[in-house]
C-alpha cells in the first residue's frame, strides 16, 4: 500500500477537499481489507512485545476527528491483539476545573506512555487549536495571561506543540498522528443510525449535532493544524474514514511500518547475565535429584 500519499509532514498548504473520504486504497472490498487487518493485528502484537522488551522507545498515537468518524472503533480493532499491559488509552474531553488551572499541555503530558508502551490519545492537546479555535470563547475559562493572547495565539500554539513533539521524539517517543477524515454526508448517516438503532442510542449526543453546524470552520481549523503541525518528526496522516474497514486497515499498516522502521530487537543479555541464566537452568533441572549442581556451588 502506498502510505506516503496519506502523510502530511511538509508544512505545505493542505486542502481537505483533495483527500477522498471514500478512498479504499488497494482494496476492492471489505473482506480483502479484513484479511490484511487480521495479519497486521498479529504482527502488531509481535512488534509491541519487542518494544516492551527493549524498553528504549515508546509510541504515541494521536487520534483526532469530527464526531462519529470512528476513533473508538479504530482503537478497538487495531489494538485488539495487543497485550493490555503494554498499551494505555486516554480520552480527552472538555477540561475539568483542575485541568483548566494548568497549561494546556499538562493533562496530556502526564498521560504520556512510559518506555516500552504504546500510548493512545483519543483527542489530545490538538483540541486546543481545533474546538477552541472554532469556539474562541472557551479561552476565557483558561485564564491565560494577557501576553499569551496577544498576537497570533494559534501560531504560538502550533510552535509550542511542534517543539514539545520534537523534544519527545528526541527522547525516544515515536509520535504518529491520525486525522480520521469523514465526510459530512457520512457523519449524518452515522448520527441517524445512532438515533434509530436502540443499541446505539447511548452514543448519540445533541452537542454533536450542534458542532456539525460548524463543519466548515472545523475543516478550516483542521487544514491549518495539518499545515503547521505536520512535521518530519511527528507527521499527520489523513485517513479516509467513510469506509470503516479501510480506516482500520490503513491505520494498522502505518503503525506497523513505523515500528518496523525502528528495527528493534529483543535485548541481547550481557555475558554475566547469560551465565546467571545458565546457572538458573542448572538449578531448575536438578531440583528434584537432591544432587548439588554447578549452579548451587557455594550456596548448597
Ligand atoms: P464519541 O465518539 O463517543 O462522541 P468523543 O471523543 O467525541 O467520543 P465526547 O464526550 O462526545 O467524546 O466529546 C468530547 C468533547 O470534548 C468534544 O466535543 C471535544 O471537542 C471536547 N474537548 C476536548 N478537549 C477540549 C478542550 N481542550 N477544550 C474544550 N473542549 C474540549
Ligand atoms: Mg462526541
DSSP for the chain reads ---GGGEE-S-----GGGS-TT--TT-SSHHHHHHHHHHHHHHHHHHHHHHHHH-S-EEEEEEEESTTSSHHHHHHHHTTTS-GGGEEEEE--SPPHHHHTS-TTHHHHTTPPPTT-EEEEES-GGGGGTHHHH-GGGGGGGT--HHHHSS-HHHHHHHHHHHHHHHHHHTTEEEEEEEEE--HHHHHHHHHHHHHSGGGGGG--HHHHHHHTTHHHHHHHHHHHHHHH--SSS-EEEEE-SSHHHHHHHHHHHHHHHHHHHT--PPPPPHHHHHHHHHHHHHHHHTTT----GGGTTT-
Ligand 2 centroid distance, CA of 66 (Å): 8
Q: What's the predicted TM-score (pTM) here?
A: 0.94
pLDDT for the residue numbered 220: 98
Contact 78, 252 (CB under 8 A): yes
Task: Find, among 255, 250, 261, 262, the residue nearest to 60 by Cα.
Answer: 255
Confirm or reject: Cβ of 186 under 6 Å from ligand 1.
no
Report CA torsion sign: 131, 132, 133, 134.
positive
pLDDT for the residue numbered 105: 98
pLDDT tens digit sequence for 110-134: 999 999 999 999 999 999 999 999 9
pLDDT tens digit sequence for 151-187: 999 999 999 999 999 999 999 999 999 999 999 999 9
pLDDT for the residue numbered 166: 98
State the cell numbers at 258. 513505523
pLDDT for the residue numbered 289: 79
Task: Find, among 34, 119, 117, 46, the residue nearest to 81 by Cα.
Answer: 46
Q: Output the residue whose Cα is nearest ligand 1's atom 25.
A: 94
pLDDT for the residue numbered 300: 38
State the cell numbers at 184. 459530512
Confirm or reject: Cβ of 155 under 6 Å from ligand 1.
no
Confirm or reject: Cβ of 67 under 6 Å from ligand 1.
yes
Confirm or reject: Cβ of 106 under 6 Å from ligand 1.
no
pLDDT for the residue numbered 293: 56
Q: Output the residue whose Cα is nearest ligand 1's atom 19.
A: 93
Instruction: Considering every ligand atom shown, identify the ligand nearest to the alpha carbon of residue 122 and give its number.
Output: 1
- Where in the chain are the domains? 3-268, 272-300
Contact 209, 92 (CB under 8 A): no
Which residues in the chain come in under a pLDDT of 50?
Answer: 295-300
Ligand 1 centroid distance, CA of 113 (Å): 21
Phi/psi of residue 178, nearest 5 degrees: -125, 125
Residues near 174 by Cβ (< 8 Å), separated by ≥ 6?
A: 57, 58, 59, 60, 258, 259, 262
Ligand 1 centroid distance, CA of 179 (Å): 15
Radius of gyration of the chain (CA): 23
Rounded to whole angstroms, the Cα distance separating 54 from 48 reads 10
Question: What CATH homologous superfamily does 3-268 map to?
Answer: P-loop containing nucleotide triphosphate hydrolases (3.40.50.300)
Atom nearest to 123 CA in ligand 1:
6
Rounded to whole angstroms, the Cα distance separating 100 from 143 reads 8
Q: Output the residue whose Cα is nearest ligand 1's atom 15.
A: 93
Amino acid at each position: 500500500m502506498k502510505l506516503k500519499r496519506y502523510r502530511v509532514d511538509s508544512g505545505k498548504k493542505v486542502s481537505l477537499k483533495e483527500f477522498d473520504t471514500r478512498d479504499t486504497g488497494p482494496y476492492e472490498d471489505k473482506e480483502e481489507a479484513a484479511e490484511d487487518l487480521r495479519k497486521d493485528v498479529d504482527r502488531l502484537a509481535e512488534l509491541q512485545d519487542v518494544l516492551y522488551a527493549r524498553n528504549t522507545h515508546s509510541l504515541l498515537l494521536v487520534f483526532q476527528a469530527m464526531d462519529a468518524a470512528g476513533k473508538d472503533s479504530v482503537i478497538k480493532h487495531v489494538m485488539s491483539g495487543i497485550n493490555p499491559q503494554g498499551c494505555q488509552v486516554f480520552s480527552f474531553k472538555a477540561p475539568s476545573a483542575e485541568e483548566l488551572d494548568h497549561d494546556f499541555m499538562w493533562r496530556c503530558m502526564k498521560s504520556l506512555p512510559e518506555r516500552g508502551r504504546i500510548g493512545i490519545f483519543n483527542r489530545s492537546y490538538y483540541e486546543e487549536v481545533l474546538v477552541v479555535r472554532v469556539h474562541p470563547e472557551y479561552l476565557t475559562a483558561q485564564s491565560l495571561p494577557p501576553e499569551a493572547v496577544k498576537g497570533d495565539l494559534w501560531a504560538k500554539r502550533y510552535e509550542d506543540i511542534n517543539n514539545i513533539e520534537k523534544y519527545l521524539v528526541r527522547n525516544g517517543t515515536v509520535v504518529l498522528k491520525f486525522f480520521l477524515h469523514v465526510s459530512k454526508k457520512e457523519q449524518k448517516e452515522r448520527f441517524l443510525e445512532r438515533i434509530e438503532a436502540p443499541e446505539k442510542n447511548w452514543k448519540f449526543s445533541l452537542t454533536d449535532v450542534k458542532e456539525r453546524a460548524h463543519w466548515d470552520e472545523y475543516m478550516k481549523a483542521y487544514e491549518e493544524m495539518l499545515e503547521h503541525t505536520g512535521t518530519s518528526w511527528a507527521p499527520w496522516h489523513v485517513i479516509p474514514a467513510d469506509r470503516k474497514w479501510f480506516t482500520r486497515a490503513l491505520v494498522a499498516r502505518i503503525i506497523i511500518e513505523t515500528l518496523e522502521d525502528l528495527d528493534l530487537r529483543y535485548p541481547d543479555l550481557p555475558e554475566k547475565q547469560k551465565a546467571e541464566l545458565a546457572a538458573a537452568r542448572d538449578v531448575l533441572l536438578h531440583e528434584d535429584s537432591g544432587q548439588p549442581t554447578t549452579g548451587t556451588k557455594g550456596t548448597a
